[in-house]
Structure 1
Amino acid sequence: MFKILDLFCGAGGFSYGIELNKNFKTVVALDFNKSAKDTFTNNFKNVKVICDDITSEHVKSKIISLSKSEGVNMVIGGPPCQGFSLKGKKAGLEDSRNFLFLEYFNIVKEIKPEVFIIENVKALINSCNGYFIDQIIKKFKEIGYFINYGVMDSSKFGVPQIRERTIIIGSLSKKLSLPKELGKKKITVREAISDLEFLNSAEGNFILDYKINPKSSYQKIMRKNSLNLYNHISTKHSELALKKLSFIPAEGDKSSLPMNLRGKQKFHTTWSRLIWDKPSPTIDTRFDTPSNGRNSHPILNRAITPREAARLQSFPDTFIFYGNKTEICKQIGNAVPPLMAKCIADSLISQYNFEKVESDFIKIYNEDAYVYIEKLKKDNIRPNHIITDPPYNISTDNNFDTLRKPRVGLKFGDWDTNFNLYGWIPKYIEILDKNGSIIIFCSYRFISYIIEVLEKNNAVVKDVIKWKKTNPMPRNIDRRYVQDTEFAVWAVKKSSKWVFNRKIDSKYLRAEFQSSVVSGKEKTLHPTQKSLKILEEIIEIHTNEGDLIIDPFMGSGTTGVAAKKLKRKFLGIEIENEYYKLAKDRIFKENKE
């Protein structure tokens, strides 16, 4: 269970979305705005909510003390971002509000949660030529965090709104990835709000609500049928605004009007309507103002209601906003879309739930090698050797399109498509022992590129090893040579005393090994499985007993099986859970440790 401190919590969209995953629970929250505090308090009944100034030493001390007593191990929040936004003229260094990041940082430094997440405007990344993002990364790295960041578009995570936000994720134990886009059809304005009652300007049957302030007479709730639908309250527009709106065609904007109606005296700024069958543009804090942008109803002569805006932010109807109209608009416009927050939570849990098995000699991890390298560096793991068979990026839909009857091409899986072939090499070379060696299986197409990357990263290429298959897969023998050879590049660290165990009865060794294609009982479901015989021979020559071998792309686990058999230590990493389980079963099948 992750227990959360929500800083700059606002109405609570971030917390609400994250809590949609049962592994997360907000326990402490802070905001300076009383109306936002009222909204948060009434939607999160068991959270200790503080309404005060985060720059106050007394308040910070209170937050830190309360967070520690509640067992907070995760901090989330979006420090005010006006100074990074277009409306704030990207003020950057000149805007003191941007330095509230320091307050956020200092609280994280004191609490040291396992995870923190910062949400901000897209412009943060490029503000002041990257100064702020660089400073954020630097400061958090100095206190022990792995950092990752990127831009998320909420419309690609189930939210009926295009809202691009910078997300920064820090972790004490691993470099966490941002969530992958859902890949589903985007949710539209029609799907989000068309079932709500079609109110005209100033319409709605109101009843008084005294839950927050018994003396208040303006805290209103609309009654729809027999249910109370909170916040679906239409703004009372002026006669001039209503007239202007009446000129705008359904789903249109002022650009679709005759030229004599477009001038500033008629339509200053944008005056646009939402489009039914597209996601909404970004909902901001002034969505109730028709002249503010594309936030008027697709067909009705009014701005959208707070409830309609809340739905476009992906809030459920059960989430109630409190305060006057201006305050409610601010809360909704500033909120993190809950469904986007849920995707972040789901992604974090999936990354923390990766499986692993560890023994004295064998350690295997269901992890992403590109991410797990940070953990290896932090733990000062220094392998003697790296022997690996990464994806080749050779999957195709049809390799034989010149044939009269084309055959289906090689399609190994998503993991063999758009794989970053070379990006992992520099970081793994960096952790390699000073006398270490690296052997990378590869397609003939990429030998020269791999050699180039190795030689640019403190390695000396010694040879290209060949695996000759005695029973290769047949091809169109009238058009091509039989593909009977696979390759591996062998390199060592510069100035190293590398291992090379020539057999005593051999005058010399050729960089060539022969075996049949994997078949029979040895064959597994992995489509690019390497021969155990070949790996055993390579390991005997290039490593010594007790050496640590790392395989960042473990696949079916053949390198691990050979390493264990030959009394070498082994650390394997495999991102695909199906293949991780396969490798685990093979490596630990006999003599379980």
Structure 2
Amino acid sequence: MDFRFGELFSGPGGLALGAKSAKVIAGGRSFFISHVWSTDYDKDTCTTYRHNICPDNPKSVICCDIRKLDFETLKKISEIDALAFGFPCNDFSVVGEQKGMNGVYGPLYSYGVKALKHFQPKFFMAENVGGLRNANDGNSFDKILNDLQEAGYVITPHLYKFEQYGVPQARHRIIIIGIRNDINIKFYVPATTHRSPITCREAIETPPISQDVPNNELTRQSQQVIDRLKFIKPGENAFTAFLPKDLRLNVKGAKISQIYKRLDPDKPAYTITGSGGGGTHVYHWKENRALTNRERARLQTFPDNYVFYGSKESVRKQIGMAVPSLGVRIIFEAVLKSFAGIEYSKIENNIKKSICSNRIDTSPIVLFEEQPEYAIC
């Protein structure tokens, strides 16, 4: 059974790669997901997606601002059975102004709701940062969940900790799976797969990265940065390390913990980010340098033959904004198993709807303490 897959805010293809990789066989039938169209506003991102996800069908990627996109253009390409949208998280991240629905990006989730009503796919996946649940005192999250339900779907929101699913990175994201409410199928959150997480050293060094692999250029480091890193131990940052006075950062107020932070080789990486100035590039545990984009891509579970297009900074942004394909593949396979009628190991979702009212009860989330760095796009 082929689920035709459409995607909004597609990014470089993390969700799409996870979807393409998911496959289930039951009763002699194959259940799988195939790309039919996607859209994003960034040209480099669209080029990356075309090259890696649909090289034989480049016209199926529409490069356009979602606010100017005619959904009928997408419908002419193909009807869809599955929709994914990792709507922009800038206004929901805990690092930033947290404008929520009052920001430029916050209301863009509504285009996902519009697409659900327009295309009526059998299921959808929506993704955003953990900080989504706190924006506008929790009211944004309530509205998003209620709007998705009212579009005609039974939803299962869950805060996934991707390091528990084999991703070598402490990346915590809210993912919402919705099954159309006229389909008698129940989705459950798949059980975690890794009690002992994959370390960043394992991800980067096993196997070694080939010299000729794309997107592996070193970043030029100033002598001051090199000198500063010499005093920072694995797992430390510019504020927790003991630095000589001339190498300390003159920062007042909030001190973000990933500034010049070295990876701890025996733990998963901290969250790979898509933007930020000096000190936010993720630093090697031993060598006095920032990671290459290819090393960052490995921490996001992209294979080495996945080529990113654009300038080095554009590639860095694409990698940091992506969803780890390995983690979402497990979730997509759980969806396919639900449709195939296959039992699978599951856990209870950690975001519950109140029994007494229509308001979404997000209070259980406080059980999951999250470092600010884990909630950056």
Cα deviations by residue, 1:349-382 (Å, 9 ceiling, x for unpaired): 2211226xxxxxxxxxx79xxxxxxxxxxxxxxx
1:77 aligns with 85
1:273-326 alpha-carbon deviations (Å, 9 max, x no partner): 001110001100148x66127x20111111100000000011110111110011
Counterpart AA for 1:86: V
Query: Does 2:233 correspond to 1:249?
Result: yes
Indicate conservation of the 8 Å contact 1:253/1:273, yes or no: yes
What's the C-alpha RMSD, in Å, of the aligned pairs?
A: 2.9
C-alpha separation in 2, matches of 1:297 and 1:290:
15
Match of 1:233 in 2: 217
Aligned to 1:588: none
Q: Give the one of 334, 342, 357 matched to 1:347.
A: 334
Q: Deviations over 1:15-73 (max 9, x none)?
A: 1012111311111111100000110011021441111111115x3321233232xxx10
SS of corresponding position for 2:177: strand
CA contact (8 A) 2:231 2:243 kept: no
Q: Write the letter of the residue equivalent to 1:90.
A: Q
Residues 263-282 of structure 1 correspond to what in structure 2 (within 5 A)?
Answer: 263-265=248-250, 270-282=259-271
Q: Deviations over 1:130-161 (max 9, x none)?
A: 32222223223223211110100110111000
**Number of residue pairs aligned between Structure 1 and Structure 2:** 332
Amino acid at match of 1:291: G
TM-score w.r.t. structure 2 length?
0.80
Q: Aligned-pair distance for 1:175?
A: 4.0
Of 92, 114, 128, 1:106 maps to 114
1:467 alignment counterpart:
none
Structure 1 residues 245-269: Cα deviation after superposition (integer angstroms, max 9, x where no partner) = 2332355433232564664249986
Q: CA deviation at 1:241?
A: 1.9
Equivalent-residue separation in structure 1 for 2:46 and 2:323 (angstroms): 16
Aligned to 2:16: 15
- Greater relative contact order (CA < 8 Å, ≥ 6 in sequence): 2
Whether contact under 8 Å (1:251, 1:299) holds in the other structure is no
Q: For 1:99 and 1:266, how far apart are their aligned partners in 2?
A: 33
Distance 1:137 1:86, change over 3 A: closer
Deviation at 1:187, TM superposition (A): 0.2
What is the 5 A alignment of 1:514-593?
none
Higher Cα radius of gyration: 1
Counterparts of residues 300-379 of structure 1 (less than 5 Å): 300-354=287-341
Equivalent residue for 1:140?
148
TM-score, length-normalised on structure 1?
0.52
Distance 1:252 1:126 in 2: 28
CA contact (8 A) 1:157 1:182 kept: yes
- Preserved contact between residue 186 and residue 338 of structure 2 (Cα < 8 Å): no
Aligned to 2:28: none
Q: Which amino acid aligns with 1:139?
A: D
Q: CA offset at residue 240 of structure 1?
A: 2.1
Q: Is the 8 A contact 1:148 1:175 kept in 2?
A: no
Give distance in 2, aligned partners of 1:84 and 1:340.
21
Task: Please tell me whether the aligned partners of residues 231 and 241 of structure 2 are also in contact (alpha carbons under 8 angstroms).
Answer: no
User: By how many angstroms is 1:113 displaced?
Assistant: 0.2
Mapped pair 1:52 → 2:40: no
Supply the distance in 2 between the matched residues of 1:67 and 1:246 (Cα, whole angstroms): 55
Aligned CA distance change for structure 1 residues 130 and 258 (closer, same or farther; 3 Å): closer
Residue by residue over 1:371-394, the C-alpha shift from the partner in whole angstroms, topping out at 9 and shown as x without a partner, is xxxxxxxxxxxxxxxxxxxxxxxx
Residue equivalent to 1:26: 35
1:123 maps to 2:131: yes
Which whole-Å deviations, capped at 9, do the CAs of 1:492-522 have from their partners, x for residues lacking one? xxxxxxxxxxxxxxxxxxxxxxxxxxxxxxx
- 1:319-468 map, 5 Å: 319-354=306-341
Instruction: Say which is worse superposed, 46-55 or 264-273, in terms of deviation.
Output: 264-273
C-alpha spacing 1:132/1:252, structure 2 compared with 1 (3 Å): closer
Output the amino acid matched with 1:232. Answer: N
- Which digits, 9 at most, give the CA deviation of each residue in 1:551-584, with x for residues without a partner? xxxxxxxxxxxxxxxxxxxxxxxxxxxxxxxxxx
Q: Whole-Å Cα distance in 1 between the matches of residues 71 and 223 of structure 2?
A: 49
* Residue from 284, 292, 297 that aligns with 2:280: 292
Is the Cα contact below 8 Å between 1:18 and 1:344 reproduced in 2?
no
Q: Distance in 2 between matches of 1:175 and 1:197?
A: 42
Distance 1:67 1:99 in 2: 26
